[in-house]
Amino acid sequence: MAVKTLTIDGKPVSAEENETILQAATDAGIKIPTLCHLDGLSEVGACRLCITEVSGSNKLLPACVTKVAEGMEVKTNSERLQKYRLMILELLFAERNHVCAVCVANNHCDLQNLAAEHGMTHVRFAYQYPNVPVDASHDWFVMDHNRCILCTRCVRVCDEIEGAHTWDVMGRGTNSRVITDLNQPWGESETCTSCSKCVQVCPTGALSSKGKSVAEMEKRRDFLPYLVQQREGRP
Q: Residue 30 is part of a domain; what is its CATH number?
A: 3.10.20.740
pLDDT tens-digit map of 78-121: 999 999 999 999 999 999 999 999 999 999 999 999 999 999 99
Look at residues 77, 106, 141 and tell me which one is the last residue of a structural domain.
77
Same domain, 112 and 34: no
Comparing CA positions, the residue from 99, 177, 88 lying closest to residue 132 is 177
Give pTM, 2 decimals: 0.94
* Beta-strand relationship, 11-16 and 3-8: antiparallel
Same domain, 73 and 91: no
Give the pLDDT of residue 1.
67
Same domain, 202 and 167: yes
Q: Are 138 and 199 in contact (CB under 8 A)?
A: no
Same domain, 21 and 106: no
Total number of domains constituting the chain: 2
CA distance between the termini of the chain: 22
Res 231 pLDDT > 90: no
Strand order in the sheet with 73-75: 11-16, 3-8, 73-75, 51-54, 60-62
Alpha-carbon separation of residue 90 from 112, 120, 149, 154, 223 (angstroms): 11, 8, 12, 22, 31
Look at residues 22, 50, 77 and tell me which one is the last residue of a structural domain.
77
Q: Are 178 and 189 in contact (CB under 8 A)?
A: no
- Domain span at 206: 84-231
Same domain, 47 and 144: no
Task: Please provide residue 65's backbone torsions phi and psi, each rounded to the nearest 5 degrees.
Answer: -125, 5
Same domain, 109 and 215: yes
Domain with 105 in it: what CATH number? 3.30.70.20
pLDDT tens-digit map of 30-60: 999 999 999 999 999 999 999 999 999 999 9
Same domain, 52 and 136: no
